[in-house]
């Protein structure tokens, strides 16, 4: 379980949007006031319907995880592989394999076709897979259907995390981010309740698969009426459409401030395509590593072992599996609801610390309950109580926080693709934990295995303590943006025609590192430019300072423009004068009466010279 209008094709070209961005930055101080009053936070009610539609993908994620829990026995009987543990394992693991494939490509799909279309594409394999699984007559048909469903499961959660973070108002982003975890819990519980009659009613498992096609179809249809992510539109150079979507999500009075914030966070991010291997080196490696590690520790904590095999533990104490599944589902939902309330009050890091710390304690209780020191009712209370506490603490932070935190700290240029990589790590570890849990339980015993899970939870606590928070990562992104802005204004002395930001020459790489070191040392942009000028000369700057030596360079455009304007005015004046002289020559050769000659002379004789004073100025002066 996982933690408007457009000018032509697009006249808002992303690479040339600096003026557009600066315009928003200039207005930012004014947009927070309306008629002299603070406009406050936008209404969360506007974006809520869009969030609820998006969380249908998380509901389907939870539903398909649990749909085979109650129905696997009847499926194996009907399709003829009852007692074949390998075939039963394939029915579960094929879905996880499809999820790995879907999550791996989710970032490129979300960036390529947009968030809305990605949701609709996620729903399509779920509908096809559910239909194939519901109508199949063989195990191979079931495996094919589960593979299709898994692909949609892998695609949905990363896109949901992106979409929720990008369309939610900032002050409720954490709360709305928890909705995906709540939807997953509801999907798990829904699958369990719908699957109860499967043991008594022949063929009921087919109904369970048919039911899942309904929310998938609703997701695909409803997304047609939902807002597209303004972040995605802005990154694609469709700024006016982004404004229209912000107006739909936040209200007209908040559009300018939202666009100003978006332009500030997006400034400096290149619009060109990110290559896959760029995520694993350079300035992007750190945030990708944070996300992958969080998801890895989330899965290595043993949460899926608890979800997949909780009924086995309950049965060992003569507790019915139905009751066990209901208890786990309710506790999971309760923890998710509390996380929704606390997410924006306590912060992401505090919830992660509390969650993993509580998971250490609860896993310790299970270790004690499984040991020889306890027996009877003591072992029952410690084992079941520890398991339920573990699920509760997981839902409180380790479940919902990683996806939300990553969507906030990842730079917009790599956000979708980095989320895809992190979710792929999640699914790989999820697969191996589910595959190896029972064999390891037989070989090592519950005490040692649960101790290993508790150790990973302790590692997670230590890692979260040292992990950069959202604010710290944001500061890193600000440093990167400043460094890129300075580098764009420094000339590569080796290339001559490129900035050091665009050049891959050795001197350019050295200068980029020097600029970042100076920023970390607390130097201002002016001080950094001065140091570069002192070390490498004025020619290293695209815009050298104004002094006696560079005055000619700075003033030459004005001098050229002034000379051109004077030449044009002189030629125009001479042209008018020449026309009058030619007309007078023609008149002198024609026999006219004295009155006609006087009239013609008055009309054709040029007025006294008035220089190149504009005609509108002469008319105004005459008045």
Of residues 435 and 175, the one with the higher pLDDT is 175
Q: How confident is the model at residue 210 (pLDDT cuts 50, 70, 90)?
A: very high
**Nearest to residue 143, comparing CAs of 104, 99, 92, 100?**
92
pLDDT at 606: 55
d(Cα 165, Cα 167) in Å, to the nearest integer? 6
d(Cα 316, Cα 314) in Å, to the nearest integer? 5
In the CATH scheme, what is the code of domain 473-540? 1.10.8.640
How far is the CA of 493 from the CAs of 216, 500, 505, 525, in angstroms?
A: 58, 9, 9, 20
Which two structure tokens, joined as six digits, stand for 275? 């290559």
Q: Express each pLDDT in 455-510 by its tens digit.
A: 999 999 999 888 765 555 555 656 766 777 787 778 777 776 677 777 777 777 78
pLDDT at 119: 92
Asked if 102 and 152 count as a contact pair (C-beta separation under 8 A), the reply is yes
Residue 611 burial (CB count, 10 A):
6
pLDDT at 461: 92
**Nearest to residue 24, comparing CAs of 328, 317, 254?**
254
d(Cα 568, Cα 139) in Å, to the nearest integer? 86
What is the crossing angle of helices 285-300 and 401-409, to 10°?
180
Of residues 259 and 308, the one with the higher pLDDT is 259
Whether 279-468 and 473-540 share one fold: the answer is no
Query: Region 553-577: what's the mean pLDDT?
Result: 69
DSSP category for residue 12: S
Residue 329: pLDDT above 90? Answer: no
Q: Express each pLDDT in 81-140 by its tens digit.
A: 877 777 877 887 788 888 888 888 888 888 888 899 999 999 999 999 999 999 999 889
**How does DSSP assign 267-296, residue by residue?**
TT---SPPPGGGGGSGGGHHHHHHHHHHHH
Query: Region 607-616: what's the mean pLDDT?
Result: 53
d(Cα 145, Cα 152) in Å, to the nearest integer? 11
| Cα Dmax for the chain | 137
Asked if 111 and 123 count as a contact pair (C-beta separation under 8 A), the reply is no
Query: Region 196-209: what's the mean pLDDT?
Result: 86
Radius of gyration of the chain from its Cα atoms, rounded to whole angstroms? 34
Averaging pLDDT over each range in 140-149, 259-268, 318-327, 554-563, which range is the top one? 140-149
pLDDT at 469: 56
d(Cα 309, Cα 13) in Å, to the nearest integer? 53
d(Cα 69, Cα 307) in Å, to the nearest integer? 10
Mean pLDDT for the chain? 76
SS3 state of residue 8:
coil
E-assigned strand segments in 141-226? none
**How does DSSP assign 206-253, residue by residue?**
HHHHHHHHHHHHHHHHHGGGSPPPHHHHHHTT-HHHHHHHHHHHH-GG
pTM of the model: 0.64
Q: Which residues pair with 37 in a beta bridge?
A: 34
pLDDT at 27: 44
Neighbouring C-alpha atoms within 13 Å toward the C-beta of 420: 20
Q: Express each pLDDT in 216-247 by its tens digit.
A: 999 999 999 999 988 888 888 888 888 888 88
pLDDT at 144: 92
Report the percent of the chain where pLDDT is more than 70: 74
Q: How confident is the model at residue 214 (pLDDT cuts 50, 70, 90)?
A: very high
pLDDT at 446: 78
In the chain, domain spans: 279-468, 473-540, 555-608
Asked if 100 and 427 count as a contact pair (C-beta separation under 8 A), the reply is yes
CA dihedral 295, 298, 304, 307 (to 10 degrees): -130
Buried b / exposed e along 322-332 (16+ C-beta atoms within 10 A): bebbebbbebb
Residue 596: pLDDT above 90? Answer: no
Q: Express each pLDDT in 2-56 by its tens digit.
A: 443 333 333 333 333 444 444 444 444 444 444 444 456 778 888 889 999 999 9
How far is the CA of 26 from the CAs of 245, 264, 497, in angstroms?
A: 21, 11, 31
pLDDT at 500: 76
In the CATH scheme, what is the code of domain 279-468? 1.20.1250.20
DSSP category for residue 197: G
Report the percent of the chain where pLDDT is more than 90: 13
Query: Region 591-601: what's the mean pLDDT?
Result: 67
Of residues 121 and 375, the one with the higher pLDDT is 121
Burial of 595 (0-12, 13-18, 19+ CB in 10 A): exposed
How far is the CA of 589 from the CAs of 47, 64, 583, 585, in angstroms?
A: 85, 104, 10, 7
DSSP category for residue 10: T
CA dihedral 227, 230, 235, 236 (to 10 degrees): 40
What is the crossing angle of helices 204-222 and 115-135, to 10°?
160
> Apex CA 144: angle with CA 139 and CA 145, to 5°?
95
**Nearest to residue 179, comparing CAs of 8, 388, 337?**
337
């Amino acid at each position: 379980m996982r933690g408007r209008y457009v000018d032509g094709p697009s006249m808002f070209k992303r690479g040339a949007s600096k003026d557009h961005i600066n315009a928003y930055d200039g207005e930012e101080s004014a947009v927070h006031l309306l008629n002299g009053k603070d406009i406050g936070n936008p209404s969360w009610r506007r974006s809520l319907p869009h969030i609820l539609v998006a969380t249908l993908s998380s509901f389907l994620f939870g539903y398909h995880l649990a749909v085979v829990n109650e129905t696997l026995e009847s499926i194996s009987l009907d399709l003829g592989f009852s007692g074949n543990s390998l075939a039963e394992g394939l029915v579960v693991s094929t879905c996880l394999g499809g999820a790995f494939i879907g999550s791996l490509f989710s970032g490129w799909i979300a960036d390529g076709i947009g968030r809305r279309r990605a949701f609709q594409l996620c729903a399509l394999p779920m509908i096809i897979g559910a239909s194939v699984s519901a109508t199949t007559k063989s195990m191979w048909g079931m495996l094919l259907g589960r593979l299709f469903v898994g692909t949609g499961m892998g695609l949905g959660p990363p896109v949901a995390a992106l979409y929720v973070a990008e369309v939610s108002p900032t002050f409720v982003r954490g709360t709305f981010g928890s909705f995906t975890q709540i939807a997953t819990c509801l999907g798990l519980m829904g699958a369990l309740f719908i699957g109860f009659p499967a043991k008594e009613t022949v063929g009921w498992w087919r109904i369970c698969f048919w039911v899942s096609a309904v929310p998938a179809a609703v997701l695909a249809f409803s997304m047609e009426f939902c807002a597209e992510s303004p972040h995605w539109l802005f990154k694609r150079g469709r700024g006016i459409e982004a404004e229209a979507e912000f107006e739909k999500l936040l209200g007209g009075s908040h559009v300018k401030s939202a666009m100003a914030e978006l332009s500030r966070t997006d400034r400096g991010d290149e619009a060109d395509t990110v290559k896959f291997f760029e995520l694993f080196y350079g300035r992007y490696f750190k945030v990708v590593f944070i996300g992958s590690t969080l998801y890895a520790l989330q899965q290595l904590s043993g949460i899926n072992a608890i979800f997949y095999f909780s009924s086995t533990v309950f049965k060992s104490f003569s507790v019915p599996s139905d009751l066990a599944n209901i208890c786990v589902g309710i506790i999971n939902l309760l923890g998710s609801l509390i996380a929704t309330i606390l997410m924006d009050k306590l912060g992401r890091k505090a919830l992660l610390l509390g969650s993993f710390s509580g998971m250490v304690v609860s896993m310790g209780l299970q270790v004690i309950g499984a040991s020889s020191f306890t027996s009877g009712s003591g072992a029952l209370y410690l084992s079941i109580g520890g398991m339920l506490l573990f699920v509760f603490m997981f839902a409180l932070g380790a479940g919902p926080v990683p996806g939300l935190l990553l969507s906030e700290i990842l730079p917009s240029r790599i956000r979708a693709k980095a989320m895809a990589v992190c979710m792929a790590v999640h699914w790989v570890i999820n697969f191996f934990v589910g595959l190896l849990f029972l064999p390891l339980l037989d070989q090592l015993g519950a005490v040692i295995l649960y101790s290993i899970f508790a150790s990973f939870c302790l590692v997670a606590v230590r890692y979260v303590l040292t992990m950069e928070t959202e604010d710290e990562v944001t500061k890193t992104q600000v440093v990167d943006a400043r460094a890129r802005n300075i580098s764009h204004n420094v000339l590569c002395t080796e290339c001559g025609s490129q900035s050091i930001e665009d050049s891959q020459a050795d001197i350019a790489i050295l200068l980029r590192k020097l600029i970042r070191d100076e920023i970390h040392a607390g130097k201002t942009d002016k001080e950094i430019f001065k140091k570069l000028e002192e070390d490498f000369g004025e020619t290293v700057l695209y815009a050298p300072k104004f002094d006696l030596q560079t005055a000619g360079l700075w003033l030459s455009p004005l001098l050229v423009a002034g000379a051109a304007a004077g030449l044009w005015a002189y030629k125009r004046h001479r042209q008018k004068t020449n026309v009058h002289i030619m007309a007078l020559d023609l008149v002198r050769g024609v026999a006219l009466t004295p009155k006609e000659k006087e009239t013609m002379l008055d009309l054709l004789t040029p007025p006294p010279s008035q220089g190149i004073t504009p005609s509108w100025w002469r008319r105004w002066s005459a008045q």
